[in-house]
Copies of this chain bind each other. A is one copy, B any other.
């Protein structure tokens, strides 16, 4: 018998993408779907970085260095300097998106059977990379009531075993938007040093912090050997499709191991590297507009959500996501119902059930993730849909308020 591998069977399907067929069916019925389900921003990719590719003089599109073009890595050193991260071009491996950087971290630092601690809710694809690497994810729960702040350090201590090799954090966070404070980052540092753990730091949303100070894992002194930074230009320059990221570490052994994996796959995407290099030359003011735009969207969306009866949405400090608690029985059913059975003015909204972001079964059943990647008008229309939907959804958990007319 030809069999699929165990990891092929155990590999989770993407919780974000599994509703796609229902969205396609809704669209075929003529319903407009507002996509708040996926972190694909509508912000224009800076034309200057696309022009860099258009104007590049390429005769033969050759393999680059396996760590990426040296010229690009040297440019990135300048970029990192601006955000207070002091690295050399020999501490950077250019990757195929942040995804490959995460995968390299798993492969180089953890054995099959080892454990990685991740505060939940977390980016669902960590599960996929852990599955590929045979690594077990140990979630510790952060609470919506605290806005998804770092769980108490005692919660980490409780689950650390001889198999624990790393902690993954993402700040500002996907899916919660939470921005870890300096005190929280220092607490993470202590526990990593105490238990000899790697700190994998996914900083895809660095540029989008609205309240409070941005603290990179690379800002923490004395943690150089522990930190692996997983980076990407996807969100920074609204260039998700470029598939360009970076694996950054000052730990030479980890770097050398990652380079062997990087050599096996030859090189990162070539055209994207031209874009990435040009992006470092964008003026510092480039980020002002997208950041202001995201901030207005956050303010609008969070305020609209919290005005809906029974809805609670903490105010996220960064990124472009929020998790909201809804008065519903089951977020998977609700999100599917939105696409299959609901419309308001021939429109509906697509959300990501939060269940897919929790490692602990049963959590997130009354939570959804919303990505504020649409403009204010679209966002308002999407909130109108959600508000109506919560009144109509058969599995709602609060009684619909009777209107004055109905009460009579």
Q: Write the residues of chain A forming the contact surface with B, with a CB cutoff of 8 angstroms.
A: 1-9, 11-14, 17, 38, 40-45, 50, 53-54, 58-64, 66, 96-97, 99-100, 103, 107-112, 114, 125, 127-129, 132, 134, 165, 196, 198, 225-226, 238-243, 251, 253-254, 257-258, 260-261, 263-272, 275
Contact = CB atoms under 8 A, between A and B. Distances in A.
A43 B6 CA distance: 42
Which one of A3, A128, A165 has the highest number of Cβ atoms from chain B below 10 Å of its Cβ? A3
A200 to B, nearest CB: 12
Contacts of A59: 44-45
A269 B243 contact: yes
Given A14-B263, A99-B264, 20 more contacts: A1-B196, A5-B110, A5-B257, A7-B107, A7-B108, A8-B257, A9-B257, A13-B263, A14-B260, A41-B60, A53-B53, A53-B271, A54-B54, A61-B239, A100-B265, A127-B264, A241-B270, A241-B271, A242-B271, A243-B267
Cβ-closest 7 pairs across A and B? A128-B264, A241-B270, A8-B257, A14-B263, A99-B265, A61-B241, A11-B260
A129 B264 contact: yes
B266 A269 contact: no
Nearest to A1: B196
Contacts of A61: 45, 50, 238-242
A272 B260 CA distance: 24
B60 A42 contact: yes
B269 A242 contact: yes
Nearest to A244: B269
Contact of A269 (B58, B62, B253, B271): B271
A53 B274 CA distance: 13
Contacts of A100: 265
Given A7-B107, A61-B45, A62-B241, A266 B99 contact: yes
Contact of A260 (B8, B111, B114, B264): B8
Given A107-B7, A108-B5, A239-B61, A96 B41 contact: no
A28 B266 CA distance: 24
A132 B127 CA distance: 17
Given A14-B263, A96-B96, A263-B17, A243 B257 contact: no
- Copy number of this protein in the oligomer? 2
B112 A112 contact: yes
Contact of A60 (B17, B238, B275): B238
A198 B1 CA distance: 10
Nearest to A114: B5
Which one of A58, A109, A196 has the highest number of Cβ atoms from chain B below 10 Å of its Cβ? A58
A367 to B, nearest CB: 22
Contacts of A196: 1-2
Contacts of A254: 4, 8
Given A96-B269, A269-B242, A272-B271, A264 B107 contact: no
Contact of A263 (B9, B128, B271): B128
Nearest to A264: B128
A121 to B, nearest CB: 17
A257 B11 CA distance: 8
Contacts of A54: 53-54
Contact of A264 (B4, B125, B238, B242): B125
Contacts of A112: 112, 134
Contacts of A264: 11, 14, 99, 125, 127-129, 132
